[in-house]
Structure 1
Amino acid sequence: MNLQQFRFVRETIRRNFNLTEAARALYTSQPGVSKAIIEFEEELGVKIFERHGKRLKGLTKPGVAVWGVIDRIMREVDNLKKVSDEFARHDEGALVIACTHTQARYLLPRVIPAFRARFPKVHVSLAEGNPEHLARLVLQDQADLAIATETLAQTAGLVALPVYTWEHTLVVPPDHPLTSLTSSAARQLSLEHLARYPIVTYDRAFSGRRAIDQAFEQAGISPDIVLEAIDADVVKTYADIGLGIGIIAGVAFDPRRDKTLVGLPAGHLFGTHTTSVAIRRNAFLRDFVYVLLEMLAPELTRPVVAEAIGQPVAPR
């Protein structure tokens, strides 16, 4: 058996048992992948994949156990490559940050310029998506870390560390009736007030939407949500044209930029939420990743992060 066979098995599982897609990702032929898997099964003496004709349908019981071993081996191989890069090209490389639009638009611009000034030879890429997709990217080593509010802490294989807390904000035009509830009396704002108007807010996968739904459900109120979007900019756009009152993450409202809207605090209605950064457990992190994490949150020092993900802290 060899690492090439392990790669073929891993990519086949990652591609939902589609040999054609696995071959494309590996820059090889589908018959080559199929042959390598069959030879590997013959060498092991067990069937790894369940089959329907020539199609792979899933993992057998021994296949699940074999996949666990292969996954650990390949992760350590990936770690070895990172160790090599760290000492051969200390300040060079690529950094992929998986994040939601809100983090890409409002959190990372506060961090990326300083990071680039310190590591000008590191190529930074942002991979945007919903939290579940972001978690998969990190688990499959397609991203170094993920930043989101939902899902990450509940994903097996990831370690989620807090970056910042936030509350929801309502956004409405200045002449909207809700603005009569001034910021000093913001707690007068109730779910009943909101239910009088159409609402524009996030898609169910993003930015505390679950808390919004739960709050209305517990109050026995059915809100009129007329539009759902995956990012705050879209919500603000439709709130601005009067489609409905917008409910967004507080970090996404900036009075200096959003001059045509008024923000009303809504933390007392929908609670406090934590945005986290997730890293794959036992991953070897390049030095510049540790630096970025501390830039995101000063509490995320190298010793704290290394201990959390199960990596030794090497003397420097």
Structure 2
Amino acid sequence: MNILADENIRIDKYISNKFEEIPREKVKDFIKDKKILVDEKKVKPSYKLELGDMINISDELFKKPEIRPEKMDIKIIYENEDYAIIDKDENVMVHPAGSIVTATLVNGLLEKFGYDNLSHIGGDDRPGIVHRLDKDTTGLMLIAKNNKSYKYFKDLFEKRKVDKEYFAICHGIFDNKKDTIETFIDRDPNNRRKMAVRPSGRKAISKYEVIKEANGFSLVKVKILTGRTHQIRVHMTYINHPILGDPVYGNVGHKFNLEHQLLHCHKLGFVDQSGEYKIFETEVHDDFKKYQKVLKLGD
């Protein structure tokens, strides 16, 4: 692959920004091995690009390793011949990304259902996956068991016809106990791994309601009308009530030994292929319950 440089930044940063699924360390290794050249010449990872530089990238950079089935404890809430509803644990990536091709939900789904019993038009590395939850966000996900089901539910999500409701424990006491947050969300220009409220982004709408508050924290119910990457985490930070434990957007000191956000998708509702409205609910997980109790925000 050949691409023309359009930024004056380090070549390793430029390529990892351009292809977000490829880790920067892998890019550096390819540069050192002369599998990424500039105008057919070897450069260092720190080389600062000039506008118009021709970057030559070996196709090997984009090859994906085989994704193998792995035994995983997947809690199934409901399933029929077309789809399944699961309750995802924390510390589980939904699908492979970059060099990470093991211990993802997809690996577990391949073991549980088999490739032929999952949709596969959403991407070779994403069988069954219609939508995502962040690695440490727990709760309900819909899994498509065939391509027809994938198309049906993908259309529902895109048309905002899926009801999605979350619980979160947030820093601070809210002035407005019930409100709608409507912004635009895009990549953070200073950190391509993060999202941010920016006018250049796509519309994002979240409705929240404070359920209980105590000790400087609030238990909040959030319904999202759109499905932007990191939407709830970005919105709660935007209104100065970041989610407790969020290592990326929180940036707020606390006394707890917690390095993952307390965010749980507890409800999914939609009209399925039978024409019947289905609603699924699940309790928050043990870690969430623990901090609810510690903070006196419920059992």
Structure with greater strand percent: 2
Higher relative contact order (CA 8 A, sep 6+): 1
TM-score scaled by length of structure 2: 0.31
TM-score by length of 1: 0.30
Larger radius of gyration: 1
Greater per-residue helix proportion: 1
